[in-house]
């Protein structure tokens, strides 16, 4: 395994330790449910045991008899909440299924009652004693179930605007020298962040404070305010640390406004800590998908035709859709492309973002198919990618701002020892184990969104950065502190960062891997505003803006980045000239090409993303290549993955230590997705069965003995001011296909359905 | 979790009295008083509202008398309150009873093995999701006569041996397979003092009463296990979805006594595939008096699963189980001792 603090290469920041490392390893970091509350009441949820039907009646006598029970809230006495819209339709919610509104049940595990008691234990006991009579009707669980409805995504999901196509696929495929048609399936998966979906609500007069792990404090604040019918400025969301997000906390869930309403009614803080299994149904998940890929190529490996059709499960009322064809149709040079995405509605909770939402299922299909095509062509799969590498995407003909895909393949192949691979399937073994090597491309769109920040500099160099960003474990505190320290030329230890609070200047959702690019770009800009003020005070005659931009290093000690001829600014003199003790600047930044309403939307908790294929005249993605070794036991068919090697290029790497950690976590999660993770659904009743961490398997250390992360030096001046491409969702995209490709190499058996388990192996 | 009383047992008599108090005709699993040892299974099931004891009797104070690990003189005695990790790490157990050491080492996680006791381990209850989730009404084990949701539900982890039309829940443990293979005797302490029963008589297959899991009565405690003889030629092979901290999809505990190339005695026990700790006696019979080869291993493996019955998602366990038995036999036959 590589060192934790990788040596920075060109265009990389320093691998400084995490800003919050000591707080986290000593238990001082306070997560939402750690926040001390004054005399809270405790809430425990009761969730439905059917997926479709209605509640006939509750028998609450037994539950009310539990000592300490304050109230039991059901649809008959719940606080009235206003309707909310799905985030993709201009709202804030991850689902429009609003529980406690009526007796109707729309999915398994829907919230049907909230028990409020003097203690958590009493609330839980009473919840266990709630008796519910239902009239159940047969639900549609998934693709195979009767009663689902299917329609094209285009036209029903506002964020899915096009089925990308170019040229004449049918004709080109028909004429292609080599053809491949294959179908692929991916399973239901749940994020299972360590921190449960807790919520605490405290009213102070008309003002509400919400402590909740969130990836979007401004979205949650505005969304809850809308549901409660109050001014958004009266709501504050606080979460200095978030115990894992992975997309599950990106949009508002129904629980928050319900708890807020109950706290208001009780005039008392209310704290909710749901269980692990409730987390499977009160938040979102990655829906199962199905794919058909058609590839046509010339004998020398050039793609001439590509078609990708995908189908995704969603809930009855909401057209959630990831639509990864936007990426798979643009990844390789191919003149004739066609695609179609459909949404299949079932009686399920509404799915939502889960780490690399579009790319994980769709790249699994495409990168598996590319490997199958390489086998048909009798060609090295790396060479097939090289032959079809491109600097312009084929749909709109736009150039990639930078693309180091093949450099990543070459670096990773070297580190992995790809040249040791004997190409024939089933040609490598070691004792009881069949050995296979496989690889796949990985990529993720580079995205940015408008953001604001406030920075305060004191005479002694102490700096305070305020921005409503989110520390979901990625290293947000650290890279923001590094950005401010570098830009102002102050020592890193003098920078204090405040994030995770909606009273701070707004930042976008910590999703779509935009956070570093967005928050660091605005912090950089506001630091420049401070420098300009200081320079203006000292040297009013210079061409101020230009000079400030060029000159780095406010501190008396010259910065390492100071170019020859720059004189460091005398900070004391500047403060004296300004006649102040503190210089504070606020600023709002938006990426090039952001819409006109960007700043209004920023404060309203509506992110305005720019990036990926939606940029004007260019397309921006981060790339990587992943190589894996799998071993399959001849006797038990157990599948193990002793080595994962990934090489990645993502523009400026702000901190090689935190970046490595994210990429390593991504590789491990990719392995988990390929071999372990699936939420099992009982088709008879559309219920999740393995809804706990003993049965929903994720890897343990023994499963990932060797993970190597390589970061390539890449400079991209066409994306955002810091030059960073998001990499939080880059590494777990290619792994699914890489592992299945390696399994094919080990066994000669092509597996097109995830996760791969020992019963799927026939050796 | 529901309110319960808690008392610490000062001596075995007190523990037995406290556990027998209030016992009606309930099966042991529903007894009003439950013993607490490592707590790694009981506390979970109480949080899930599956077990609702009114009283908890903490038997950890009995550890000074009940946790000895005593190999020697050609036999082995293990106190029921010995921790799994201590037994797994014991050098003499690793030498003379590798099947025991490995079955413990390959179970659960290091943290759980440090807490869990041998007696509690053999008494652990099934991991059937429909049993552990009280929102499912139909579970014959939890609500006798209510039906079995697993039978036609998601049953990949379920049993193929010892099943009935009432229940297919898998016995989840590993250590019990080693005990049943080695003809362990269970020492039971109750009102009338202590008695010994063969380990094979401890668990009961579900039949028409899946709620009755063992032959223990309320007020009875396992105090020790004992094994006659040494079994240095023994292995525990476990196939599972991940490399650690996971229950068996299929496992085999094998012990052989081979003299001059001839198998004098053979023990074959199966885990992860049966409703109770499972001894494949017909399969063993094929081995006795024979010289080992791979064809024999395959015949033994086939015999071990001759009566297996698969359901929709778990039929793979029959083929897997056969291969695990054959491979484990080969490992045992060829091991250097």
Tens digit of pLDDT for each residue in A453-491? 999 999 999 999 999 999 999 999 999 999 999 999 999
Q: What is the mean pLDDT of chain A?
A: 95
Instruction: Identify the pLDDT of residue A735.
Output: 98
Do residue A633 and residue A748 come from a single domain? Answer: yes
Interface of A with B (CB under 8 A): 47, 49, 121, 124-125, 128, 277, 633, 635-638, 640, 675-676, 680-682, 684, 689-691, 694-695, 697, 699-703, 757-759
Q: For chain B, which residues make up each domain, given as ranges?
A: 5-61, 234-334
- A433 with A494, same domain? no
The verdict on A263 and A132 lying in the same domain is: yes
CATH architecture of structural domain B234-334: 2-Layer Sandwich (3.30)
Cα separation, A107 vs A243, in Å, equals: 26
Looking at residue A572, what is its pLDDT? Answer: 84
Instruction: Evaluate if residue A515 carries a pLDDT over 80.
Output: yes
- The number of distinct structural domains making up chain A is 3
Give Cα B19 to chain centroid, integer Å.
22
Taking phi over 0 as left and psi of -120 to 50 as alpha, with beta for the rest, A514 belongs to alpha
Task: Report the alpha-carbon distance of residue A474 to residue A390 in Å, rounded.
Answer: 31
Minimal CA separation from B222 to chain A, in Å: 27
Q: Which of A470, A476, A485, A522 is nearest to A661 (CA)?
A: A476
Residue A390 has pLDDT above 90, yes or no: yes
Please pick, among A212, A288, A677, A729, the residue that the annotation labels catalytic: A729
Residues of B in contact with A676 (CB under 8 A): 241-242
Q: Taking CB atoms and an 8 Å cutoff, what residues of chain B touch A47?
A: 135
Q: What is the CATH number of the domain that holds A484?
A: 3.30.365.10
Per-residue tokens: A277: 């299994």
Q: Which residues of A touch B3 (CB under 8 A)?
A: 125
CA atoms within 13 A on the CB side of B50: 23
Count of residues making up chain B: 337
The Cα-based distances of A226 to A203, A219, A645 in angstroms read 16, 11, 46
Q: Which of A124, A676, A689 sits opposite B153 (nearest CB)?
A: A689
Q: Check: CATH 3.30.420 for B5-61? A: no
Q: How confident is the model at residue A2 (pLDDT cuts 50, 70, 90)?
A: low
How crowded is residue A341: how many other Cβ atoms within 10 Å of its Cβ? 27
Chain A with chain B: Cβ pairs closer than 8 A: 79
What pLDDT does A567 receive? 58
Query: What confidence score (pLDDT) does residue A556 get?
Result: 39
**For a pLDDT cut of 90, what percent of chain B falls above it?**
96
| Closest CB to B2 among A125, A637, A702 | A125
Would you say residue A76 lies in a domain? yes
Please indicate, yes or no, whether residues A456 and A442 belong to a single structural domain of this protein.
Answer: no
Helix axes A359-377, A735-747, angle to 10 degrees: 30
Report whether pLDDT(A128) > 80. yes
| CA distance linking residue A385 with residue A11, whole number of Å | 26
Question: Which ipTM value was assigned to this complex?
Answer: 0.97
| Predicted confidence (pLDDT) at residue A559 exceeds the cutoff of 50 | no
Is residue A644 a part of any domain in this protein? yes
pLDDT band for A147, please (50, 70, 90 cuts).
very high
Q: CA B302, CA B325: separation in Å to the nearest integer?
A: 9
| β-bridge pairing B55-58 and B33-36 | parallel
Q: Is the pLDDT of residue A550 over 80?
A: no
A478 and A439 in one domain? no
- Whether residues A23 and A101 share a domain: the answer is no
CATH for A220: 3.90.1170.50
Residue A262's Cβ-side half-sphere holds a number of Cα atoms within 13 Å equal to 33
Q: Is residue A97 part of a domain?
A: yes
B294, B298, B304, B306: CA torsion to nearest 10: -160
- Same domain as A689, residue A550: no
Dihedral sign, Cα of residue A560, residue A562, residue A563, residue A564: negative
Percent of chain A whose pLDDT exceeds 90:
93
pLDDT at B176 over 70: yes
User: Are A79 and A126 contained in the same domain?
Assistant: yes
Equal fold, B5-61 vs B234-334: no
* CA separation, residue A613 to residues A327, A352, A440, A458, A622 (Å): 8, 21, 21, 42, 12
Q: Give me the pLDDT at residue A360, please.
A: 98
Is the same domain home to A422 and A484?
Answer: no
Residue A138, Cβ density class (10 Å: 0-12 exposed, 13-18 middle, ≥19 buried): middle
Dump pLDDT digits (tens) for B121-130. 999 999 999 9
At residue B217, the pLDDT reads 93
Picking from A302, A327, A294, A304, the residue whose alpha carbon sits closest to that of residue A168 is A304
Alpha carbons within 13 angstroms on the beta-carbon side of residue A5 total 6
Q: What is the pLDDT of residue A596?
A: 94
The C-alpha R_g of chain B, in whole angstroms, comes to 19
Question: Taking CA atoms, what residue in B is nearest to A686?
Answer: B153
CB contact (8 A) between residue B49 and residue A128: yes
Q: Binning pLDDT at 50, 70 and 90, where does residue A537 land?
A: confident
Q: Are A406 and A484 in the same domain? A: no
Which band of pLDDT confidence, cut at 50, 70 and 90, is reported for residue B1?
Answer: confident
pLDDT greater than 90 at residue B24: no
Which of A556, A586, A609 represents a domain boundary (last residue)? A609
Q: Are A438 and A458 part of one and the same domain?
A: no
Does residue A125 carry a catalytic annotation?
no
Same domain, A115 and A43: yes
Q: Residues 6 or more apart from A695 whose CB is under 8 A from it?
A: A689, B127, B129, B157
> Quick one: pLDDT at residue A543?
58
Q: Print the domain residue range for A530.
A: 449-609
Q: Which of B141, B136, B172, B174 is nearest to B154 (CA)?
A: B136
At residue A731, the pLDDT reads 98
């Amino acid at each position: 395994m590589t060192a934790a603090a990788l040596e920075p290469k060109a265009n990389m920041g320093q691998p400084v330790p995490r800003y919050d490392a000591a707080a986290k390893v000593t238990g001082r970091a306070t997560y939402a449910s750690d926040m001390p509350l004054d005399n809270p009441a405790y809430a425990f949820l009761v969730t439905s045991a059917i997926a479709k039907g209605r509640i006939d009646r509750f028998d609450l006598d037994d539950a009310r008899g539990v000592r300490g029970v304050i109230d039991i809230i059901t649809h008959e006495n719940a606080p009235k909440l206003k309707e909310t819209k799905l985030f993709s339709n201009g709202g804030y919610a991850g689902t429009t299924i609003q529980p406690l509104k009526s007796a109707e049940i729309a999915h398994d595990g829907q919230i049907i009652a909230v028990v409020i008691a003097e203690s958590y234990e009493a609330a839980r006991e009473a919840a266990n004693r709630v008796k519910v009579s239902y009239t159940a009707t047969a639900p549609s669980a998934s693709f195979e179930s009767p009663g689902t409805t299917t329609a094209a995504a285009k036209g029903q999901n506002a964020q899915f605007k096009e089925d990308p196509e170019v040229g004449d696929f049918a004709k080109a495929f028909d004429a292609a020298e080599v053809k491949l048609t294959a179908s692929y399936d991916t399973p239901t998966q749940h994020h299972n962040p360590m921190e449960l979906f807790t919520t605490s609500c405290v009213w102070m007069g008309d003002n509400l404070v919400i402590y909740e792990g969130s990836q979007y404090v401004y979205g949650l604040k505005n969304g809850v305010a809308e549901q409660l019918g109050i001014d958004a400025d009266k709501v504050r969301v606080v979460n200095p640390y978030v115990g894992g997000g992975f997309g599950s906390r990106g949009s508002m869930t129904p629980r928050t406004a319900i708890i807020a309403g109950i706290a208001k009614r009780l005039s008392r803080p209310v704290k909710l800590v749901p269980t692990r299994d409730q987390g499977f149904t009160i938040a979102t998940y990655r829906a199962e998908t199905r794919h058909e890929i058609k590839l046509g190529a010339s004998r020398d490996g050039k793609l001439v035709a590509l078609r990708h059709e995908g189908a995704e499960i969603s809930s009855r009322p909401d057209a959630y859709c990831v639509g990864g064809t936007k990426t798979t149709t643009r990844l390789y040079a191919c003149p004739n492309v066609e695609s179609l995405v459909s949404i299949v509605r079932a009686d399920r909770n509404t799915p939502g973002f889960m780490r690399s939402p579009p790319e994980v299922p769709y790249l699994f299909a495409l990168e598996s198919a590319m490997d199958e095509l390489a086998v048909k062509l009798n060609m090295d799969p790396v060479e097939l990618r090289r032959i079809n590498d491109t600097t312009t995407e084929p749909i709109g003909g736009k150039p990639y701002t930078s693309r180091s895909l093949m450099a990543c393949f070459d670096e990773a192949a070297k580190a992995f020892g790809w040249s040791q691979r004997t190409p024939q399937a089933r040609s490598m073994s070691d004792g009881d184990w069949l050995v296979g090597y496989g690889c796949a491309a990985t990529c993720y769109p580079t995205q940015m969104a408008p953001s604001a920040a406030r920075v305060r500099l004191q005479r002694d160099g102490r700096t305070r950065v305020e921005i409503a960003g989110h520390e979901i474990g990625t290293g947000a505190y650290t890279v923001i502190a590094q950005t401010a320290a570098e830009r102002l030329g102050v020592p890193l230890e003098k920078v204090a960062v405040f994030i995770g609070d909606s009273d701070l200047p707004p930042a976008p959702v910590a999703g779509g891997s935009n956070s570093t690019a967005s928050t660091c770009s605005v912090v950089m800009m506001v630091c420049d505003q401070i420098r300009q003020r200081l320079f203006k005070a000292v040297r009013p005659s210079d061409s101020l803006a230009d000079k400030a931009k060029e000159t780095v290093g406010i501190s008396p000690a010259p910065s390492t980045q100071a170019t020859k001829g720059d004189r460091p600014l005398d900070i004391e003199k500047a403060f004296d000239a300004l006649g102040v003790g503190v210089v504070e600047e606020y600023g709002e930044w938006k990426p090039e090409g952001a819409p006109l309403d960007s700043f209004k939307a920023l404060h309203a908790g509506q992110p305005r993303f720019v990036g990926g294929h939606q940029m004007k005249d260019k397309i921006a993605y981060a790339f990587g290549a992943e190589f894996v070794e799998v071993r399959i036991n001849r006797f038990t068919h157990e599948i193990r993955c002793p080595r994962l090697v990934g090489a990645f290029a993502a523009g400026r790497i702000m901190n090689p230590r935190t970046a490595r950690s994210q990429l390593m976590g991504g590789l491990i999660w990719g392995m988990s997705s390929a071999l372990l993770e699936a939420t099992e659904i009982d088709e008879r009743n559309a219920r999740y069965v393995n809804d706990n961490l003993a049965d929903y398997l994720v890897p343990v250390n023994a499963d990932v003995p060797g993970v190597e992360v390589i970061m390539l030096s890449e400079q991209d001046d066409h994306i955002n001011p810091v030059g960073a491409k998001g990499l939080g969702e880059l590494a777990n995209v290619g792994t699914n296909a890489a592992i299945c490709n390696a399994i094919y190499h080990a066994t000669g058996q092509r597996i097109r359905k995830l996760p791969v388990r020992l019963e799927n192996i026939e050796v | 979790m529901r309110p319960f009383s808690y008392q610490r047992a000062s001596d075995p008599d007190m523990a037995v009295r406290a556990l027998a108090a209030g016992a009606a005709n309930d099966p042991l699993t529903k007894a009003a008083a439950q013993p607490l040892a490592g707590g790694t299974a009981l506390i979970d099931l109480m949080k899930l509202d599956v077990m609702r004891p009114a009283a908890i009797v903490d038997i950890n104070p009995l550890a000074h008398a009940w946790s000895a690990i005593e190999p020697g003189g050609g036999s082995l005695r293990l106190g029921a309150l010995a921790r799994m990790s201590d037994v797994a790490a014991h050098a003499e157990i690793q030498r003379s009873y590798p099947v025991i050491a490995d079955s413990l080492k390959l179970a659960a996680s290091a943290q759980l093995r440090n807490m869990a006791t041998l007696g509690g381990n053999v008494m652990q209850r099934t991991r059937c999701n429909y049993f552990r989730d009280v929102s499912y009404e139909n579970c014959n084990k939890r609500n006798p006569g209510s039906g079995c949701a697993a039978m036609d539900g998601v049953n990949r982890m379920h049993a193929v041996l010892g099943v009935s039309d009432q229940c297919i829940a898998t016995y989840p443990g590993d250590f019990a397979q080693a005990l049943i293979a080695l003809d362990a005797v269970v020492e039971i302490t109750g009102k009338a003092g202590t008695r010994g029963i063969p380990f094979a008589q401890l668990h009961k297959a579900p039949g028409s009463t899946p709620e009755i899991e063992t032959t223990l009565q309320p007020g009875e405690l396992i105090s020790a296990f004992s094994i006659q003889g040494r079994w240095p030629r023994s292995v525990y092979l476990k196939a599972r979805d991940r490399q650690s901290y996971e229950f068996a999809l299929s496992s085999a505990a094998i012990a052989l006594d081979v003299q001059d190339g001839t198998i004098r005695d053979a023990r074959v026990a199966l885990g992860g595939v049966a409703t109770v700790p499972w001894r494949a006696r017909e399969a063993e019979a094929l081995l006795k008096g024979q010289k080992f080869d791979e064809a024999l291993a395959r015949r033994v493996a086939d015999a071990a699963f001759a009566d297996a019955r698969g359901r929709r998602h778990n039929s793979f366990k029959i083929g897997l189980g056969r291969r695990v038995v054959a491979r484990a036999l080969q490992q045992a036959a060829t091991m250097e001792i």
